[in-house]
């Protein structure tokens, strides 16, 4: 039986990040079902002529159109084209933008892609990303004192991806791998324990991950690195340290990076934000 | 005159990433206008009781509700609550999810936060992020041969944030800073030129960025690092190398990371994706 094909066109005056997330979240609902989804991105569309090319392409494959355009003229052209040609479309930006305007009586700037330049947000984010790379893996403990968050954890507790994910939220994150034999930098005792997060994991899961890692290196899976009693020792060492510090402890087993990050943000009171325009 | 206050509630059964992007893109349209936006995230909502708490909170401040829930029961409760209480709500997920179902006759899995586990996507992304950190800043030229993309550029051409942004799209990216005095690793001549991107910038912009960087270090802004004729020399060296390689060249001046990434993806033919469910 043939796959069922779905075409989606992302049409955006910016990088199409919002619409792509939305498309991927929808596609994910059909995981492992008999569907093939083709996601096409037509981004940085500012001109009517470029918009028309994208819409005509979308029409050819009867695509689902997900659109994040801010120009009133382009929104109107796109919506009308889809209506006239019986194309399903989802205007992801207009409803909320228009609602804010109605409530406040203030007109939106209608500057495309303004998301990237939201206040000082953008450059702060770039700095946070560079900070995360610079202070990854305990490379320079002097970063601990400058960091908004210091992540501690034994090998394979997602310290690096978690640091980068939080950096995307403009937070300066440093991380330190914990190895029982290795020296713990004195700086961790100068950091506010409220800014420290101790990551842990289930021994069996760590064992499986590390065996897999050894295999991917073409090595035998049974090394000291993946030995279960060695892993338990490491976790005990980490746990004792976390208790001594008095920091938040999170078990990352069965948790995605997004979920762990969400727990950290909410525990540190960083989940809610106010944007002063 | 008092600020105009807007409250937005993100209600999600996952990390609320899609809805947050949407909220931020909308808020960005009111940048520097007389509005204060308060963004509240109520994430990983699986239970009716938690949903009701979030909705009652939203009602108290007459919030704009942006919702990404996949449980039909929770969607119904949320939408009906908002209608009954005259709360503006935007159901960001249902329209596209339902349209796919109607077209294909296939029922969605309705597994919350399935986005994170989209096929092998999630673990690939984690690997790509770790790859980017490992092979940042020319740390290990052996990574060049494994990379999907190799970024070259003089200091302050956004190599690191660009690498991380592309890693978020599951691409393995290595980068190499170009310094005229330094040795160019021989590996770059083994990489397919189609995978190499040469980043450049305008001398005046680099000069301003670097002076600012020196100031932030508490140093005099007038160093060899920020000297304009030295910068021009560096850019000439880089440009000559790019031409010798025959790679794509992008001037990042006036471009956001998102925009530069979009040019790279489209030039390398990586913009469009197919997801096999």
Residue A2 has pLDDT above 50, yes or no: no
Instruction: Please tell me which of B214-223, B242-251, B256-265 the model is most confident about, judged by mean pLDDT.
Output: B242-251
Rounded distance between C-alpha atoms, residue A209 and residue B266, angstroms:
35
Token pair 């986005």 is found at B115
In our burial notation (b when 16+ CB lie closer than 10 A, e otherwise), range B38-65 reads bbbbbbbbeeeeebeebbeebbeeebbb
| Topology given in CATH for the domain delimited by B121-267 | Rossmann fold (3.40.50)
Q: Give percent above pLDDT 70 in chain A.
A: 95
Residues in B closer than 8 angstroms to A28, CB to CB, are 114-115, 117-118
Contacts of B214 (CB under 8 A, 6+ apart): B220, B221, B222, B223, B225, B226
Which of B15, B16, B23, B26 should be substituted to probe chain A, the one whose Cβ sees the most A Cβ atoms within 10 Å?
A: B26
A121-162 residue pLDDT tens: 788 888 999 999 999 999 899 999 999 999 999 988 999 999
**Do the Cβ atoms of B110 and A32 come within 8 Å?**
no
**Do the Cβ atoms of B160 and A39 come within 8 Å?**
no
**Do the Cβ atoms of B36 and A274 come within 8 Å?**
yes
Residue B124 has pLDDT above 90, yes or no: no
**Do the Cβ atoms of A35 and B106 come within 8 Å?**
yes
CATH code linked to domain B4-117: 3.40.50
B156-182 residue pLDDT tens: 899 999 999 999 888 999 999 998 888
| Cα separations in angstroms, B131 against A135, B31, B99 | 16, 36, 37
Which of A10, A13, A15, A26 should be substituted to probe chain B, the one whose Cβ sees the most B Cβ atoms within 10 Å?
A: A26
Residues in B closer than 8 angstroms to A116, CB to CB, are 256-259
Task: Work out the mean pLDDT of chain A and round it to a whole number.
Answer: 90
- Residue A114 has its nearest CB partner, among B15, B28, B41, at B28
- Ordered by start, the domain boundaries in chain A are 4-117, 121-267
Token pair 């494959």 is found at A61
Neighbour tally for B243: CB within 10 Å: 11
* ipTM associated with this complex: 0.83
DSSP annotation of B33: S
B113 is in an annotated binding site: no
Helix ranges restricted to H, chain A = 17-27, 48-60, 72-84, 94-104, 121-134, 159-167, 203-216, 228-245, 257-267
Rounded distance between C-alpha atoms, residue A140 and residue A150, angstroms:
12
B24-48 residue pLDDT tens: 889 888 887 778 899 999 999 999 9
């Amino acid at each position: 039986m043939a796959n069922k094909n779905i075409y989606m066109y992302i049409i955006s005056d910016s990088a199409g990040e919002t619409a792509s997330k939305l498309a991927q979240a929808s596609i994910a609902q059909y995981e492992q079902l008999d569907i093939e989804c083709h996601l096409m991105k037509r981004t940085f569309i500012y001109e009517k002529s470029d918009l028309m090319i994208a819409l005509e392409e979308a029409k050819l494959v009867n695509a689902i159109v997900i659109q994040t355009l801010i120009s009133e003229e382009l929104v109107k052209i796109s919506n009308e084209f889809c209506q006239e040609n019986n194309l399903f479309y989802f205007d992801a930006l207009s409803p909320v933008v228009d609602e804010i305007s109605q409530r406040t009586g203030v007109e939106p700037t209608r500057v495309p892609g303004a998301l990237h330049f939201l206040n000082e947000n953008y450059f702060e984010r770039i700095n946070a990303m560079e900070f995360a790379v610079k202070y990854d893996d305990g490379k320079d403990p002097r970063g601990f004192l400058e960091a908004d968050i210091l992540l501690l954890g034994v090998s394979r507790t997602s310290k690096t991806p978690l640091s980068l994910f939080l950096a995307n939220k403009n937070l300066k994150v440093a991380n330190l791998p914990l190895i029982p034999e290795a020296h713990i930098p004195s700086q961790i005792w100068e950091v506010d324990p409220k800014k420290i997060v101790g990551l842990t994991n289930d021994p069996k899961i760590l064992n499986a991950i590390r065996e897999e890692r050894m295999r991917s290196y073409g090595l035998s899976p049974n090394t000291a690195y993946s030995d279960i009693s060695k892993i338990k020792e490491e976790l005990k060492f980490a746990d004792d340290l976390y208790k001594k510090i008095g920091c938040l402890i999170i078990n990352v087993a069965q948790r995605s990076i997004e979920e762990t990050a969400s727990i950290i943000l909410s525990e540190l009171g960083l989940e809610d934000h106010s944007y002063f325009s």
